[in-house]
Chains A and B, each alone.
Chain A
Amino acid sequence: MRTTRTVAGIAVLTLALGACGGAGESDGGGGQAATDSAVGVTKDTVVIGTHQPLTGPAAPGYSKISAGARAVYQAINDGGGINGRKIDYRVEDDGYNPTKTVEVVKKLVLQDKVFAIVGGLGTPTHSKVVDYLNTEGVPDLLVSSGALAWDNPQKAPMTFGYQVDYTREGKVQGKYIKDHFAGKKIGYFTQNDDVGRDTQAGLDQFVKDQAVVRQGYDSANTDVTPQLSALKAAGAEVVVCACIPAFTALAILAAAKIGYHPQFVVSSIGADPATLAGLLQDFAKRGGASVSSGQLLAGLIGTGYLPDVAQTSDPWVAYFKGIHDKYIAKEPFTNTVLFGMVQAYTFGQALKAAGPDPTRQKVVDAMSSGVLKGPGLTPFGFSKDSHAGYTGAYVFKINPDTTTTVIQPPAVTDRGTGAITPYAGERATPEQVNLLSK
């Protein structure tokens, strides 16, 4: 008897779990948080946070981005900060684990009381906190991923992209291939996620009928010889590689292994010549002259939106090299580090544009005002209606000495089916932006 009653009691408690209707339906709670708050801003500091994969299987390739960003924040702070406020940059390691991402972002927001999240890295990770950050009214700026989802001002007004999205980049690549490799057979070698899917969406607008083979790779499986064999077997003369750097290098090595010499066209995320040359350098020493990293990389075509670190004459590269040499001289100066530096610098610009008394709303307004101009070779898409980051790319070729030559100047486009147009806008110089002056 008593047991029955207890069970009934537990059942009632359990029912309480569902007393509120469908779990997938809105409870009408939450609503838009006040965004005119200045949480995280004090008289002399602004606290910001980010989530990065510093350890674990995804750390290789990404763990130096925050090092670059930190160097720029140090430079800003040593120069007196932005409007007198120093930037307190909190980096949380999420190991590229989405569960961990949600935890650390809530920690940053609730415990560290950050003003904004800047440069949260990764699509699988960051997509899990976009809703939360927007509900809480926390600016979610310059996401380190080229997914299309960040550009959604209606649903995610606080979220802004940073790098060029994969579809825009795919369009630029597709157009270039159509113009310069007409009639050639094309193979796709893409990461099995939104990187691959969105890139193909862009490519297919131009070279769908030339594409004879599509191979995917899984980032957990480093043996890509089967895929490269399939590309070779299908007779692909041009291979578009939407890959992270390690997999670009693996693809190049696997192609060399099976005696396959296609023209590689690589997305910006995986085409950093300095990183690739570093990954491939030791094969030069052991394999003889014919497998030097220069020869493995020579002729590789890539797309980019930031200046390449090898272009030392570029005023921004020189500027960031100065910061690099002063603060993180031990780290190799790669495009990955530069990526973090430009990101930090851009946040610094937005914070400055938000005025002497920044609030969350003011920084979001500054972002969408379209005034941010700087290191990138293509412009940001930021406006009232668009939160897209860089809106286009230039095309470059790697020379035998692993420097690069621009072979198609910057062009911009949209994420839909719009045309690709050359970008002729002026780029501000470091002196014009003059972020570090008081």
Chain B
Amino acid sequence: MSVRTELPETRVDTPEKRRALPPLLVHALAALGALAVIVALTLVTDEFTNLRIATIGYYLIAVAGLTLLTGLTGQVSLGHGAFMFIGAYTVALLVRRVPSFPLWADLLLASAAGGLAGLLAGAAAARLRGPYLAGATLALAVGLPALTRRFPDLLGGSNGLSFTVHSRPAAVVGVVPELRWQTWIVWLSVLVALVLVVNIVRGRLGRDFRAVRDDEVAAALGGIAVGRTKILAFLVSAVCGGLAGGLQAFLLGTAAPGSFTPALSLSLLAAVVLGGLGSLWGALWGAVALVYFQAWSEDLADVLHLNTDVANNLPLAVYGVILIVVVLAFPRGIQGGFQWLRGLLRRSAEQKEIHENH
């Protein structure tokens, strides 16, 4: 059986030879710029919008990880929430059991724990194709959170764990509101991770990923260890998932099985497709869509003053319709839309130029 992989082409800007700066530095500088933008954005918005920006942040890194796995390597995972689950519980346990650990260590360990799980999942999944992989990863998303009920004393049973993570240095207490500070930390972590992810995607490993996606046999003939490459994709992707879960736990102070339902995993995948499969920019739009589509449809339900049964279910229906419409009408997602728009502008500019020259 062959997995159909007519995925949209990924735009990879091959580093131009004459560029003086190494790509890692370029990406790091871009990340610094992005951080500056985020900080500015949090300063001009209210606290609740800050929370939404932070939420976009941790979804972004989760969706970016899944983009790398599904969009670039062609491995469909319906269970990425499981890695967030592991990251969140790692932070929760560390904060509660080892309070003296600094936050960065907690987050690093959350990423590592996610990565370890990804390594195992990848090793088990490397031989699986298409729907078999989908089924197995869905079982992962359903099964793993049940561990909390098996070990209620350690993991808090179905109530999960609740805790408060303190991250503000004494100097900024009273100067920067807690949520704003947390948003900065989330985005700082996300951008550091993204720099690494972008570097991987643009590097040799990224080329291997795409080769495996496009044609496994050809990739193998070309000297790429297909199994190992898939496992590496799972590993990197799960590290991102673990970090996302850790950041979520840090931001919201909760780790509970009810947060890591299959619905979470599926909405992450939906975000990958909404944003534009196979593009890291798409991951950003997907994360934004994940947060704002839901908010808007809830506002819509409020505004329309419907009877309760209709109003309660409207956001779900709207979200479903958006998914269907985007896939049917805009197969390349939001990023595809942007590219199309840019192409249109460029063409019209070129035409204008031609007109002027003649």
Contact = CB atoms under 8 A, between A and B. Distances in A.
Interface of A: 2-3, 6-7, 9-10, 13-30, 54-56, 58-59, 63, 66-67, 70, 93, 96-103, 106-107, 110-111, 123-125, 127-128, 130-132, 192-194, 218-220
B2 interface: no
Given A16-B188, A18-B102, A21-B102, A103 B166 contact: no
Interface in B145-192: 146, 149, 152, 157-160, 162-170, 173-174, 178-179, 185, 188-189, 192
Which residue, of B24, B102, B173, B258, has the highest number of chain A Cβ atoms within 10 A? B258
A127 B163 CA distance: 10
Given A23-B106, A27-B166, A110-B47, A192 B158 contact: yes
Is the interface on chain B under 10, 10 to 19, 20 to 34, or 35 or more residues?
A: 35 or more
B134 to A, nearest CB: 21
A102 B252 contact: yes
B258 A124 contact: yes
Contact of B192 (A10, A96, A106): A10
B178 A25 contact: no
A98 B94 contact: no
- 3 closest Cβ pairs, A-B complex: A24-B99, A18-B102, A29-B173
Contacts of B21: 2
Contacts of A193: 157-159
A70 B307 CA distance: 12
A435 to B, nearest CB: 24
Contacts, number: 179
Nearest to A92: B298
B158 A6 contact: no
B319 to A, nearest CB: 11
A19 B248 CA distance: 20
B48 A110 contact: yes
A264 to B, nearest CB: 23
B100 interface: yes
A20 B195 contact: no
Nearest to B156: A124
Contacts of A28: 170, 173
Contacts of A19: 102, 169
B321 to A, nearest CB: 16
A99 B252 contact: yes
Given A19-B169, A192-B158, A96 B51 contact: no
A16 B313 CA distance: 43
A98 B28 CA distance: 35
B94 A110 contact: no
Contacts of A100: 259
B357 interface: no
A3 B91 CA distance: 30
Contacts of B315: 55, 93
A96 B48 CA distance: 21
B256 A124 contact: yes
B41 interface: no
B77 interface: no
Nearest to B163: A24
Contacts of A123: 159
Residue from A17, A25, A102 having most chain B Cβ neighbours under 10 A? A17
A204 to B, nearest CB: 17
B258 A6 contact: no
Contacts of A101: 254
19 contacts: A7-B24, A10-B192, A19-B102, A23-B167, A24-B95, A24-B100, A54-B308, A55-B312, A55-B316, A58-B258, A63-B312, A70-B308, A97-B261, A103-B252, A106-B48, A110-B48, A127-B159, A194-B157, A219-B158
Contact of A27 (B46, B170, B258): B170
Nearest to A216: B149
A343 B21 CA distance: 65
B168 A25 contact: no
B97 to A, nearest CB: 8
A119 to B, nearest CB: 16
